[in-house]
Chains A and B, each alone.
Chain A
Amino acid sequence: MSTTVKSKSDLMSAVLQAFARLDPRYQVRNPVMFLVWVGSVITTVILTVMLADPGNIIGGGQPVWFVGLICFWLWFTLLFANFAEAMAEGRGKAQADSLKKARRDVPAKKLDKSKNQTVVAATSLRKGDVVRIEAGDVVPADGQVIEGIASVDESAITGESAPVIRESGGDRDAVTGGTRVLSDWVIVRVTADPGESFLDKMIGLVESAKRQKTPNEIALSILLAALTLVFLLATATLLPFSLFSVERAGSGSVITITVLIALLVCLIPTTIGGLLSAIGISGMQRLIRANVIATSGRAVEAAGDINVLLLDKTGTITFGNRQAVEFVPVLNVSAQQLAEAAELSSLADETPEGRSIVALARGQFGLPERKAEDVEATFIPFSAEQRVSGVVINERHIMKGAGDAISGLINLKGGLVPPEAKTAIDDIARKGGTPLMVAEGPKVLGVIHLKDIVKPDIKARLAELRRMGIKSVMITGDNPLTAAAIASEAGVDDFVAQATPETKLKYIRKMQEGGEMVAMVGDGTNDAPALAQSDVAVAMNSGTQAAKEAGNMVDLDSDPTKLIEIVEIGKQLLMTRGALTTFSIANDLAKYFAIIPAAFATTFPALGLLNIMGLSSPQSAILAAVIFNALIIIALIPLALKGVKYRAEPASTLLTRHALIYGLGGIVTPFIGIKIIDMGLTMVGLV
């Protein structure tokens, strides 16, 4: 998706948003930041009173400039957090705007039952309506092509400018509202009511208006709220403790409300609290930038957890087009006889395999060119259930299909499968090829050798998955021998051979019962049940409407290996939250060292020994901690938006690195940061 970055105006609108969101009704959704808001309001009240009457007891003897600066920086802490969120949302704004343009109301040519055409507004279309779309028309609603073929420009959705073919029957029958038909025409049955279309969902996602909290985000929010409560208690009880200490020590002054609020804001996890929603929003946007649309954040998070990935062999592990390379006839049948029968049965077969059989037969034996329409024949299309296709021509009945499928039919017809055919099938399968048996009536003619070509980079990608802890499973309609050969060549961990929609579904259920999280990539209508059963289901945008409905993500690029990227994005999302939480809490140690000696400097001067950073004065120490606390939010916005980098490594290695960077680093960084800010404050002569 092309995003025109108008960085200056983006920044401007994020700043405005940051101010607008100081509204308490907005803040109350986030308990951590709401507490900061309450603290800011209280210090503002104190400041106002002190401005009128500098000696007022409410100030506790603190100078007005100090209270003013604390107040100023508390508000900035809030603004920075708001800004982070607005920034994250702003990045999706441009996308949403361009999508909204595509949604504009267009006229639609609605057909009634007798195919009479009336022009209506697209918004009036409902599920089940039938429309005709011609070259130059904008597709008025999501739908399924029921007649015709057309080239469609889907760049408004996918950002890909090359037009795609949409046609009835088969795996490319889905059209999306907002795209434009470039040539020819199609008749489409509408599949979505207004407001529920794909485009609407996408706009909702990028605008994050409908963003729901994911399970881990909810759990983390609870933990942060509990921590906040404890810190609230620890700071609130300091007032009585301080009263008691002053009374018993007989010297010094009681800790002021301003300092208590400063301490509280420093201690509660504002860093993660302020960035939490920005992390979630930008995670979704990383996904959109990868050209994947997820129907829920839950699915993205689940992607980080999957441990079994089901991949279709064809198109994912191997190149989609298997090539016929050899005809192996049985005894008493010539290669030419076999080739002729094979060519005849493949005339109407528009798959790359079918075309390659026709080409090989003509090339080897010089058969004449002809088209399916030229012959008087009935073609029996391939069905997933029978796994056989064929042709009936002048009482000749030629079938081709997988060895066991043809064998089953031969047996039904009372014929016998000759042993040499079986040998040929096994030979081809063992070499990793796909054997296709050809039979005429009850008699086996021979076997066609289709060669599968494994994609060159797939082995490395599968190895990467294994390092992530994800087991790859190849799904194929091939027989077990062929499947095993390709599986070992590609390096998958397991395979399901002779898969039917039912076996796929069963396999997924079995895995899930064992506690595995299963992801699957699919495009066909027969994939829909398995997609619906999977925990993470990625449908190809080029696929059927049924597949897209069943999946919880749609890949606009229709790239089956995209799942690896999706997994990374899911993991990044969790890692970023975990890392910033650790960092946020680890920061507190240094803040204690800065604030506690400063807060009790008058009562217990000996606590000055804890001022290990050597901060210049109590006021500058407290101020430096508050400023650090605010600035660190700004400093971490890029990390929150970009996400912590994921590497395919064992969990222990990842934990070591992140515990060192964000745990240990989180302890050390504020010591340095607060010291530098303190030096800066001293230098400008502020304190």
Chain B
Amino acid sequence: MLFGITPASWLQLALYMLVLTAVAVPLGLYMARVLSGERNLLTPILAPVEKLIYGACNVRPEQEMTWKDYATAVILFSLGGFILLFSLLLAQGSIPPNPQNLPGLTPDLAFNTAVSFVTNTNWQSYGGETTLSYFSQMAGLTVQNFVSAAVGIAVLTALIRGLSRHSSDRLATDKLGNFWVDMVRVNLYILLPLSLILAVLLASQGVIQTLEPYVVAKTLEGADQTIALGPVASQEAIKMLGTNGGGFFNTNSSHPFENPTPFSNFIEMISILIIPAALCFTFGRMIGDKRQGIAIFAAMTLVFVPMTIACIGLEQAGNPHLIAAGADAAGGNMEGKETRFGIANSAIWAAATTAASNGSVNSMHDSFTPLGGAIPMLLMKFGEVIYGGAGSGLYGMLIFVILTVFIAGLMVGRSPEYLGKKIGAFEIKMASIAVLFPSAPVLICTAAAVLTAPGQAGLYNPGPQGFSEALYAFTSAANNNGSAFAGLGANNPFYNSLLGLCMLFGRFFVLLPVLAIAGSLAAKKTVPASAGTLPTHTPLFVVVLIGTIVLVGVLTYAPALALGPVIEHLNMIKG
């Protein structure tokens, strides 16, 4: 019972990390081939399709874009996606299939939901089965589940190109690739095949896939019970893989139709982190130095594992007062957790889903112990870079690497450089915006929520817990995570619009600086390494990188955390 954690839980965590790494390495190398346009496993089947798409869309794959062109394409694509989804949600009442005749959404909810899915956040102010038609789920949300994840991976690819290209290359130096080509390749070669495999696996476990109307059953008491159905398996797969997390049902992955068995739970947990983790290895191969990718994977893992252990430990310790009162089983804090999964699998899920910007849940984070619930919050506050979102996690992490290289580079007496690229004032300016500024909407909106009447009305709990609920929601939105602490009445114009703005801010104030950095770095020469160069693949660098991430996260949010989870915990242990 090391750290108060049962041997079974240790085994569970070890197995999880082992399988994750074992799948991430080959997948990462495969994705590297896809993103560099090399021949790969699926080329024989998919290359003709790819060509067809380029022909139909009038895309010239060899035509590369500058960072500004690339950014414009990203913005136009996201804007187009938003308008389409927004109108669809408003008008869903009259679009079949809609067997339950669900009406169109209110404008504020439609705005919030459209922004949420376009920014790969998947914050849900609504309950899926009572709000959205089958058509909205399939043609609206699922489409964005694919393409919003692909946008993240495409932007990451552009950044990798910026880091690995230099002026002596054959290619023009200010070019970062073609956004449309990257989007097609990511969807066609990566997201679609993986989703297909996962959907079939999930269906085999009993995840439903149907367009039939909801079933009405008579309960033993004689009451009518409506059992919601839907095309779940197909949406579940990309929801997990694309770090989306928006559940088909309100209760997300704790619903038996979304997540029926321990095996389905395990593969869903793996798929939360698999693409973000694998992208580290993609990065290593694409820049031609696998050690760099391994170092970043190590840094992420070294934050993730201890945090997960802490979360399991805190949940297994439970609430001392309830235990003393005999209200809690010896198993620890089981409130809000599925008995099918238990504490370990709920805690690993909670850590994984907030480390990655997934946001799906299989337990109620609001019911975690104060510090147990602070761990998912802290993982989001680190800026969603511990694996993080699909593509966005690694590009966020690389921004932290650039900041770390800057400070560490100064400390060894050399103008900072990463992978041979000098880090100058422009890169630092952009990196500062990307790393430090997403905290602004979190703090400002939380302040607005606790000060104003409509904000306070949404807080269901008094005192520090209510504060935590608001803080968690805005943290989740601004970091494009989408997981909810719950206990917050968010479906009203106040929260819908503020959260929507947070999501937009958190997505584009990171994504655009990242592209700017990519463009600036692409045009720079690559300085050959020498004895004076700071190596960025060593354990030492990994430690310094982790220190930077943790320090930035903690220093920004320490006062807020103290007033929420920390004081609640202290009150709890004090009694």
Residues of A within 8 A of B (CB): 215-216, 218-220, 222-223, 225-227, 229-231, 233-235, 237-238, 240-245, 248-249, 263, 267, 301-302, 304-305, 307, 466-471, 513-517, 570-575, 577-579, 581-582, 585-586, 588-589, 592, 596, 600, 604, 606-607, 609-610, 646, 650-652, 654-656, 658-659, 662-663
Contacts and interface: CB of A to CB of B under 8 A. Distances in A.
B436 A226 contact: yes
B contacts with A: majority SS: helix
A241 B411 contact: no
A651 B532 contact: yes
> Which of A229, A245, A571, A610 has the most C-beta atoms of chain B within 10 angstroms of its own C-beta?
A245
B559 A241 contact: yes
B444 A237 contact: yes
Contacts of B425: 215, 218-219, 222
17 contacts: A215-B425, A219-B423, A220-B410, A220-B428, A222-B428, A222-B429, A234-B558, A240-B447, A241-B447, A267-B555, A468-B531, A588-B555, A596-B562, A651-B531, A651-B533, A652-B535, A655-B544
Contacts of B278: none
Given A226-B432, A588-B555, A243 B451 contact: yes
Contacts of A301: 415
A607 B562 contact: yes
A592 B407 contact: no
A514 B410 contact: no
A646 B413 contact: yes
Given A222-B425, A570-B413, A582-B411, A245 B526 contact: no
Contact of A606 (B446, B525, B574): B574
A237 B444 CA distance: 7
A-B CB proximity, top 3 nearest: A469-B532, A578-B410, A571-B413
B403 interface: yes
**Which residue, of A219, A263, A646, has the highest number of chain B Cβ atoms within 10 A?**
A219
B450 A654 contact: no
Interface stretch (B217-225, B237-245, B460-468, B496-504): B460-468
A35 to B, nearest CB: 16
Contacts of A609: 570, 574
Interface of B: 166, 168, 403, 406-416, 420, 423-425, 427-429, 432-433, 436-437, 439-440, 443-444, 446-448, 450-451, 456, 462-464, 466-467, 525-528, 530-535, 538, 540-541, 543-544, 547, 551, 554-560, 562-563, 566-567, 570-571, 574
Nearest to B569: A606
A301 B410 CA distance: 11
Contacts of A220: 406, 410, 428
B534 A607 contact: no
A585 B551 contact: yes
Contacts of A263: 559
B413 A607 contact: no
Contacts of B547: 659, 663
Nearest to B450: A244
A30 to B, nearest CB: 16
A600 B413 contact: no
A304 B415 contact: yes
B423 to A, nearest CB: 7
Contact of B533 (A226, A467, A469): A469
B575 to A, nearest CB: 10
Given A234-B556, A610-B562, A581 B407 contact: yes
Nearest to B528: A515
B412 A575 contact: yes
Contacts of B447: 237, 240-241
Contacts of A233: 439-440, 443-444
A655 B412 contact: yes
A650 B529 CA distance: 12
B558 A578 contact: no
A223 B403 contact: yes
Given A248-B463, A652-B540, A656-B540, A223 B413 contact: no
A570 B412 CA distance: 11
B534 A652 contact: yes
Most chain A CB neighbours (cut-off 10 Å) among B429, B450, B464, B566: B450
Q: Is the interface of A mostly helix, strand, loop or mixed?
A: helix
Contact of B538 (A307, A578, A652): A652
A494 B416 CA distance: 26
Given A233-B443, A241-B447, A248-B464, 12 more contacts: A227-B432, A243-B450, A307-B528, A470-B530, A571-B413, A592-B558, A592-B562, A596-B559, A600-B567, A651-B534, A652-B538, A659-B544
A637 to B, nearest CB: 19
A467 B558 contact: no
A517 B420 CA distance: 12
A306 B436 CA distance: 32
Given A515-B525, A607-B566, A235 B559 contact: yes
B532 A215 contact: no
A593 to B, nearest CB: 9
A575 B562 CA distance: 34
Contacts of B533: 469, 651
A220 B560 CA distance: 27
A468 B558 contact: no
Contacts of B414: 304-305, 571, 574, 651
Contacts of A216: 410, 415-416
Given A222-B428, A240-B450, A654 B570 contact: no
A646 to B, nearest CB: 6
A272 to B, nearest CB: 11
A229 B436 contact: yes
Contact of A586 (B411, B427, B531, B551): B551
A658 B443 contact: no
A666 to B, nearest CB: 10
Contacts of B408: 578, 655, 659
B406 A606 contact: no
A607 B429 contact: no
Contacts of A582: 407, 411
B411 A655 contact: yes
Contacts of A240: 447-448, 450-451
Contacts of B428: 219-220, 222-223
B411 A219 contact: no
Residue of B427, B446, B555 with most chain A CB atoms under a 10 A cut-off: B555
A230 B556 contact: yes
Contact of B410 (A245, A470, A574): A574
A263 B555 CA distance: 12
A507 to B, nearest CB: 16
A192 B423 CA distance: 37
A467 B533 CA distance: 11
Contacts of B526: 515
Contacts of A302: 415
A122 B466 CA distance: 79
Nearest to B562: A596
A340 B250 CA distance: 107
A151 to B, nearest CB: 41
Nearest to A579: B411
A582 B408 CA distance: 9
Nearest to A514: B528
Contacts of B535: 651-652
A162 B242 CA distance: 76
B436 to A, nearest CB: 5
A660 to B, nearest CB: 11
Contacts of B466: 248
Contacts of B534: 651-652, 655
Chain A CB within 10 A, most for which of B407, B534, B543: B407
Nearest to A597: B562
A244 B455 CA distance: 11
A300 B179 CA distance: 41
Contact of A516 (B437, B528, B538): B528
B102 to A, nearest CB: 36
Contacts of A646: 413
A230 B538 CA distance: 30
Given A234-B556, A578-B408, A592-B558, A572 B439 contact: no
